[in-house]
Structure 1
Amino acid sequence: MDIEILKHIFLELVEKYGLLGIFIIGFSEPIFQPFPTEIFMIFAISMGLDWRYVFLSALSGSLLGSTVTYYLSSRYGEKLALRFFREEEYRKGEKFFEKYGVLGFIVISFTPIPFEIMCWICGAFEMPFNRYILAILLSRLIKHGVFVLPFVFWGSDVWKLLKDIIS
């Protein structure tokens, strides 16, 4: 699927369905999709949706999607993961996971290694589920918070600044 088409679909999803759209995007991020949920969270907040509900929708979607990814990858392992991702990306994530473990997974939110690859790797290598979910929760709280908090403190001024930068 063309990445631009997917982006357009997600923007429409948020525009038409609001919080449900954010939930679906948060759900799909750890499974297969390449866009950080935070992009769409900012869009939803700029549309006037309450940041708290946006935050909770994204977080709950991400936790549920991460659970599905863990189950699929722990059951079907590396073969299934390699159908979704290039082997080079998968191996890069594998090395990172072996070196840094749970703490590395929390840090992964702020690196170029795609989040969904790490979710697949954690399941394939059978990271203990309770540690996995804790790592997901902490990483999403931090990353979503970093993107949402400016809107909480400075409101529409942040959105105006972003529009000026993009334009």
Structure 2
Amino acid sequence: MIDNILDFLLDFGPWGLFIHSFADAIIFPIPAFFLQVPLSLMNPSSAIQLATVGYIACLLGTPFGYLIGKLLGKAVLYKMLKKQWIDSATTMFQKNGEAAILIGSFTPIPFKVFTILSGCLNFPLWRLLIYAAIGRAVKFYVIGILFYSFGRSAESMVKDVTLYIFLIGVPILLLGLFIKRKISKKKKSKDAVEANASISSQEDHAG
């Protein structure tokens, strides 16, 4: 049935990818990657436009996935997807929601898991959109640039390149988030010290 749906969407070209990418953030169990690649293979000169279509549709669908999680909870995920995907994504979210979204943009886990989980766990929607925009841009545009640059021969490169991006890009992203968290903690600690000093000074004057 899934193959039939993909074949049906393939006939609609960019609009099919738009529908697929939009649904990928909400309900469809197969990542948009599986439609973007064959469409890019058919017409490599339009690969970047296809990447843009898929990217925009995914971001438009993200708030709807978030709303499903907010209203229906995690139970809806277990009805649609593999339990190990959901458990793995939940563990990632509990450790660091921002990192989970960024990493989830590169993994085979369907992106809807992260949009719905964001709603379930009350992760701020604006943060979800920011990190989804970063991660999904890489996912869509790497494929688009490969096909645009190398034509049909890019088909054999896609899996290797996306793997390398995951192995190299994810540690860099995690390092960036770690540094950001350290700076934020240091700033909060400094602000707390200054606030305590101000209170002590006021008490001394009052005394």
TM tier, shorter chain? 0.7 to 0.9
Amino acid at match of 1:100: N
Instruction: Specify the alignment match of 2:78 in structure 1.
Output: 82
Amino acid at match of 1:22: L
Amino acid at match of 2:20: I
TM-score, normalization: structure 2? 0.67
Instruction: Specify the alignment match of 1:43 in structure 2.
Output: 38
CA deviation digits over 1:33-85, x for unaligned, max 9? 23221221121122227123211211121112211110111122223333334
Describe the shift of the 1:160–1:114 C-alpha distance in structure 2 as closer, same or farther (beyond 3 A): closer
Partner SS for 1:155: helix
Q: Following TM superposition, by how much is the alpha carbon of 1:113 offset from its aligned partner in structure 2, in angstroms? A: 3.4
Aligned residues: 157
Q: Tell me the C-alpha RMSD between the 2 structures.
A: 2.2
**Of residues 129, 135, 144 in structure 2, which corresponds to 1:133?**
129
Q: Following TM superposition, by how much is the alpha carbon of 1:88 offset from its aligned partner in structure 2, in angstroms? A: 4.6
- After TM superposition, the structure 1 stretch with the greater mean CA deviation from structure 2, 55-64 or 17-26, is 55-64
Give the whole-Å Cα distance in 1 for the aligned partners of 2:69 and 2:111. 14
**Of residues 9, 15, 18 in structure 2, which corresponds to 1:20?**
15
Q: Following TM superposition, by how much is the alpha carbon of 1:104 offset from its aligned partner in structure 2, in angstroms? A: 2.5
- After TM superposition, the structure 1 stretch with the greater mean CA deviation from structure 2, 115-124 or 75-84, is 75-84
CA deviation digits over 1:93-116, x for unaligned, max 9? 211101122122111122343322
Q: Following TM superposition, by how much is the alpha carbon of 1:27 offset from its aligned partner in structure 2, in angstroms? A: 0.9
Instruction: Specify the alignment match of 1:147 in structure 2.
Output: 143
Describe the shift of the 1:161–1:78 C-alpha distance in structure 2 as closer, same or farther (beyond 3 A): closer
Give the whole-Å Cα distance in 2 for the aligned partners of 1:161 and 1:115. 22
